[in-house]
Amino acid sequence: MEKYNWQFTAQFEQKKILVIGDLILDEYIEGDSTRLSPEAPVPVVDVQSDNWVLGGAANVAANVRALGAQVIFCSVIGADAEADRACAMAVEAGFSSDGLIQEKERKTLVKTRVLADGHPLARIDRGDDTPISVISQQQLIQQVQRHFGACDGIIVADYHKGVITPAIIDCLCNLIRKQPKFVAIDSKRLALFREMEPTLVKPNYPEALQLLGYERGAKDRRALLERCGAELYHRTRAHWSVLTLDKEGSLWFEKGKLAFHIGAIPVVSPHVCGAGDTFISACTLGLLAGADAKRAAAMATAAATVAIEKETVSLCTHLELLAKLDNEQKLVTSLKHLREIRGYYKSMGRRIVFTNGCFDILHSGHVNYLRQAKRLGDVLIVGVNDDESIRRLKGSERPINGISDRLSVLAGLGCVDHLVVFGCVQDDTPTTLINVLEPDVFVKGGDYQLSELPEAKLVESLGGRVELIPLTANRSTTQLIRRIYEHTHDKSAIV
């Protein structure tokens, strides 16, 4: 299974996707609230952070890029400070802002969410959602025509905010008629794209009801929609109709016939905003890479799960997708998830053991060390340095094995309960993980001295203890690399 996943996801970087749709900026203002305002009976929020992330179609583009593919993103925004921010964020996300057309009389769309102690208090929407101007429309058509031929697939992310006009749809229909492409549509107005005969459409439950003309749904949502395949096909002409049902998973219809249902992966405290963007991005890339529908569905479900485990950014990287597919339970993808794991085990009275390392070429010394570490408690959580961190610590020729390979091998060890990746330019130590995890036992190899461990005082201040485990003699990654090098450069060893 592991190798099979690699065969498909490795092809993501060879794909180029044209994403067209409404750019939205999502702002998250978070803080504490301990009092009411004297001006009105409303809470006062003492702001601690103000974070901006790409939303709408821009989040689709960011997800496609994070999963490894090339992205051309085309949209229309304002000519304001928010537009400048959007362009900078696009570049930071790994794709060009050249496809973002600025319209002078337009205001860039921004959704501001105010949260106090993690709970939402208000959402403030600003910006224009009226149809784009005729001039902007023509410029957008020119951008689409320019990039269409070189793309492997197109994703239209239509939030009904003015960018996807009838003229844009007509342009795409004409291009697809001349040069058929993989086309995925995520829209609140799917019937408008019927002439395009999309490869895939992805309505959620409310969108499916609207498309089918139902005024209200039913208690058993899945049972209701399972009977609607033929009508969905009639209204969309899509080869694949994928109905997403949140915690109930998704229903897949092929040309109107129910093909299968895939369940969702449970998440303790899901943050579902933007999960659909991640889903359609991974689904598109999976199908383009040659995966069958069931495997593409598993990829999309895993990617969306990674996204909803995060507090603000609805994003899944190529690494996170692979790790989730390889071992759904072991990889911890966010500090929020790590806190939840700590709380869960602490509530059960379980003792948490934490250790960290590079684990570049896993050998018997590593396995013995990890087995001994697990015996010191109930749960073993292993921090793993990412590739850049190892290069900073050990030189440009390391690691020998990339992070995905190292995680896959470690996940196969029964003594390892969870894995978490760490490392940044400012700090290549696991200090942040220790602060969040508060382990009962922090384990390091016997080649260290307590005085050499900057983390030791932190662990003890949090109520834990440090244990040094003797290393297996004559077993180290450096020695293995040296022996391999000497063997391959010894002419007498060459047959």
- Confirm whether 277 is a catalytic residue: yes
Can you give the pLDDT at residue 494?
Answer: 42
Distance CA 450, CA 205 (A): 56
Can you give the pLDDT at residue 99?
Answer: 95
Tell me whether residue 457 is exposed, middle or buried, using C-beta atoms within 10 angstroms of its C-beta: 0 to 12, 13 to 18, 19 or more.
exposed
Can you name the CATH fold of 2-326?
A: UDP-N-acetylmuramoyl-L-alanine:D-glutamate ligase (3.40.1190)
Distance CA 299, CA 291 (A): 9
- 3-state DSSP percent of the chain in helix, strand and coil, to 5: 40, 25, 35
CA atoms within 13 A on the CB side of 214: 15
Can you give the pLDDT at residue 495?
Answer: 39
Q: Which sequence spans correspond to the domains of the chain? A: 2-326, 335-483
* Successive 10-residue mean pLDDT values, the chain, 495 residues: 59 95 95 91 91 95 96 97 96 95 96 90 95 97 96 97 97 96 96 96 93 81 89 95 92 95 82 88 96 93 89 80 69 80 81 93 87 94 93 87 86 89 90 95 82 86 92 61 61 45
Can you give the pLDDT at residue 476?
Answer: 60
Contact 438, 413 (CB under 8 A): no
Q: Which residues lie below 8 Å from residue 250, measured CB to CB, with a gap of 6+?
A: 242, 243, 244, 261, 262, 264, 279, 297, 300, 301
Can you give the pLDDT at residue 363?
Answer: 81
From the candidates 277, 326, 387, 440, which is the catalytic residue? 277
The CATH-assigned architecture of domain 335-483 is 3-Layer(aba) Sandwich (3.40)
Per DSSP, the three-state class of 253 is strand
Distance of CA 81 to the CA centre of its chain: 27
Contact 353, 380 (CB under 8 A): yes
| pTM listed for this prediction | 0.69
Q: Which residues pair with 20 in a beta bridge?
A: 74, 156
